[in-house]
């Protein structure tokens, strides 16, 4: 271990966080875009309005860019359990591998095969049948989310297992319990709904930039897209807030420390509990001083009623020590990183509310009767900038989930420090961290650059272009 704080565990954790966050930029966006592009194509098949076909094609290009990056970074995720966390893989193999393998067999194959078909069969299938191909991809991405979240939910709240006394490893006893884990069925809707919201925000935001250019031939296209994106953002921001609330109820039950940390509560609150908006946290001395408080709101958030106190981290810490000292020793630190969780929660919920507000105003101002949205340039710029906020919100949500598990990698059973590969060295980990960092910077930069360029060209760019030149990736390359 080096003195500058580069321990193997911290490097491995940093790498996991970096790869996961980067991967998770693209995954929710791809899931959402798949669903929305499929919806657009279905609308075309039903209504026969060409604008929906143009939409499916144009937004499909943005979708494919994110899908490509999402796919390739996904392989890192699968490999790095073995590469960086081999002790974890040994301990958890009996439970964790199954969802991962099923994900590949059930979901990845559907995604990867049908996306290939969808890309190359635009003029070979009837619109309805062609839309089915992207629906298959969308279903594949969602199935994939179920299985990876099933694995993650087990790490948050282990169910259906026992510890094998001879090997000391986890042994699966009830597969049904793993896939009916209450955590799973609360986190899954939250993730999917937020994913669709994310895609809605990007479509609305990019359409706003498109409209601001004031090109006559593109006006209708971007207007329809903007309305579509705003409606999706509004509906799914509300739904994902609801799903998040349900998930919170479960977290209070299963992981009280995580919840107390997201609220920055050290001492048990009074009854009814007030909700802290801003707080100064002193993580070293386990104290916090609220700076803005709203009475009773935390009781409502936590219990859906006007009374009830919430347990603070100090008492939960004591309980955890009483419960686990025999197994993990007296020196274990059970305080999850309170500042990260406190602020991540506020960023996540704040962003959701912000999206609701923007989308609500946008829907109002763009309604047919009193369509004034295009004159509000300031508002269009805000919609355009709001492309970025759901990505930050998604990452914040992921931070809460993963940092809130501390100090365990499998809640109550196996610590992060025990999970790391014994073969790792600071040198190799530094090397891989740098490689990944450079790679992600490159991929992220290129992806954003090409998305921007696609928007700049507008929806009719390639169609005019194809009069002289056949797109080498279009069906002509195959059918002729």
Partner 1 sequence: MTLANLWFILIGLLFSIFLFLEGFDFGVGMSTRFLAKDFDERLALMTSIGPHWDGNETWLVTAGGAMFASLPLMYASLFSGYYIVLLLVLVGLILRGVSFEFVKHAETRTGKNIWMWTFFVGSFMAPFLLCLMLLSMVQGIPMNANGDAFPKFFDVVNLLSVVGGVAGTLLSLVHGLNFIRLRVEGPLRDRARKLNQILYPILFLGEVVFAVLVFFQTDFFTKRFGSSLFITVLIVLFSLLGYYGVLKDKEGFSFAGSGLSLSMVIVLLFNGLFPRVMIATNPAHSILIKNAANSHYTLTIMTIVAAILIPIVAIYFIWSYTLFTKRINPREHTVKY
- Chain residues 389-428 in contact with partner 1, contact rule CB under 8 A: 421-424, 428
Q: In this complex, which beta carbon is closest to partner 1, that of residue 29 or of residue 236? A: 29
In this chain, which of 432, 455, 458, 459 binds partner 1, going by CB under 8 A? 432
Quote the DSSP letter at residue 161. Answer: E
The interface with partner 1 within residues 43-72 (CB under 8 A) comprises: 64-65, 67-69, 71-72
Query: What DSSP element (H or E) covers 289?
Result: strand 287-294
- 105 counts as binding partner 1 under rule CB under 8 A: yes
- 95 counts as binding partner 1 under rule CB under 8 A: yes
Q: In this complex, which beta carbon is closest to partner 1, that of residue 329 or of residue 472? A: 472
Q: In this complex, which beta carbon is closest to partner 1, that of residue 143 or of residue 238? A: 143
In this chain, which of 1, 2, 46, 101 binds partner 1, going by CB under 8 A? 101
In this chain, which of 166, 285, 375, 469 binds partner 1, going by CB under 8 A? 469
310 close to 257: Cβ distance less than 8 angstroms: no
Task: Please name the residues in contact with 325: beta carbons below 8 A apart, sequence gap of 6 or more.
Answer: 332
d(CA 361, CA 350): 17
Distances (CA, A) of 64 to 56, 71, 133, 201, 218: 11, 10, 14, 17, 22
- 381 counts as binding partner 1 under rule CB under 8 A: no
What is the chain's length? 480
Q: In this complex, which beta carbon is closest to partner 1, that of residue 20 or of residue 250? A: 20
CB under 8 A, 24+ apart: contacts of 170-173: 170/91, 170/92, 170/94, 170/95, 170/410, 170/413, 171/94, 172/94, 172/95, 172/98
Helices (H), ranges, 329-457 = 338-365, 377-385, 389-403, 416-419, 426-457
Mask 445-464, x = binds partner 1 (CB under 8 A)? -x---x--xx----------
The interface with partner 1 within residues 116-145 (CB under 8 A) comprises: 116-117, 119-121, 124
Mask 156-185, x = binds partner 1 (CB under 8 A)? --------x------xxx-x----------
- 79 counts as binding partner 1 under rule CB under 8 A: yes
In this chain, which of 7, 17, 21, 94 binds partner 1, going by CB under 8 A? 94
Task: Please name the residues in contact with 188: beta carbons below 8 A apart, sequence gap of 6 or more.
Answer: 145, 146, 149
């Amino acid at each position: 271990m080096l003195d500058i704080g580069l321990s193997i565990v911290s490097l491995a954790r940093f790498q996991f966080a970096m790869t996961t966050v980067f991967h998770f930029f693209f995954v929710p966006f791809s899931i959402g875009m798949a669903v929305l592009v499929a919806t657009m194509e279905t609308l075309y098949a039903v209504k026969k309005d060409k604008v929906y076909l143009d939409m499916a094609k144009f937004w499909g290009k943005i979708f494919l860019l994110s899908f490509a990056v999402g796919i390739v970074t996904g392989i890192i995720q699968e490999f790095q359990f073995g590469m960086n966390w081999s002790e974890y893989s040994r301990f958890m193999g009996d439970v964790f591998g199954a969802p991962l393998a099923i994900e590949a067999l059930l979901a990845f194959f559907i995604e990867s095969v049908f996306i290939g078909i969808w890309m190359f069969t635009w003029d070979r299938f009837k619109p309805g049948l062609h839309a089915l191909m992207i629906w298959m991809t969308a279903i594949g991405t969602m199935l994939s989310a179920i299985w990876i979240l099933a694995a993650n939910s087990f790490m948050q709240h282990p169910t259906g297992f026992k510890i094998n006394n001879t090997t000391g490893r986890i042994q699966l006893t009830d597969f049904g319990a793993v896939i009916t884990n209450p955590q799973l069925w609360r986190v899954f809707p939250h993730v999917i709904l937020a994913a669709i919201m994310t895609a809605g925000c990007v479509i609305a935001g990019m359409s706003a930039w498109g409209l601001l250019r004031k090109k006559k031939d593109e006006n209708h296209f971007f207007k329809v897209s903007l309305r579509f994106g705003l409606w999706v953002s509004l509906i799914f921001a509300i739904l994902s807030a609801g799903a998040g609330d349900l998930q919170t109820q479960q977290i209070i039950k299963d992981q009280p420390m995580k919840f107390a940390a997201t609220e920055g509560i050290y001492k048990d609150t009074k009854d009814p509990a007030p909700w802290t908006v801003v707080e100064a946290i002193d993580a070293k001395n386990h104290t916090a001083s609220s700076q803005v408080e709203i009475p009773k709101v935390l009781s409502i958030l936590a219990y859906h009623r006007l009374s009830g106190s919430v347990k603070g981290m100090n008492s939960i810490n004591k309980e955890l020590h009483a419960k686990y000292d025999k197994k993990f020793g007296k020196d274990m630190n059970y305080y999850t990183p309170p500042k990260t969780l406190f602020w991540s929660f506020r960023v996540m919920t704040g962003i959701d509310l912000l999206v609701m507000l923007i989308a609500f105003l946008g829907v109002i101002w763009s309604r047919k009767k009193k369509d004034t949205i295009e004159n509000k340039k300031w508002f269009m710029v805000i919609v355009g900038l709001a492309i970025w906020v759901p990505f930050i919100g998604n990452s914040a949500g992921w931070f809460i989930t993963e940092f809130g598990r501390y100090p365990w990698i499998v809640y109550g059973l196996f610590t992060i420090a025990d999970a790391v590969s014994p073969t790792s060295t600071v040198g190799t980990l530094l090397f891989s961290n740098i490689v990944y960092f450079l790679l992600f910077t490159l991929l992220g930069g290129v992806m954003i650059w090409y998305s921007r360029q696609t928007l700049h060209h507008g929806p009719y760019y390639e169609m005019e272009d194809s009069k002289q030149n056949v797109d080498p990736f279009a069906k002509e390359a195959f059918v002729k």
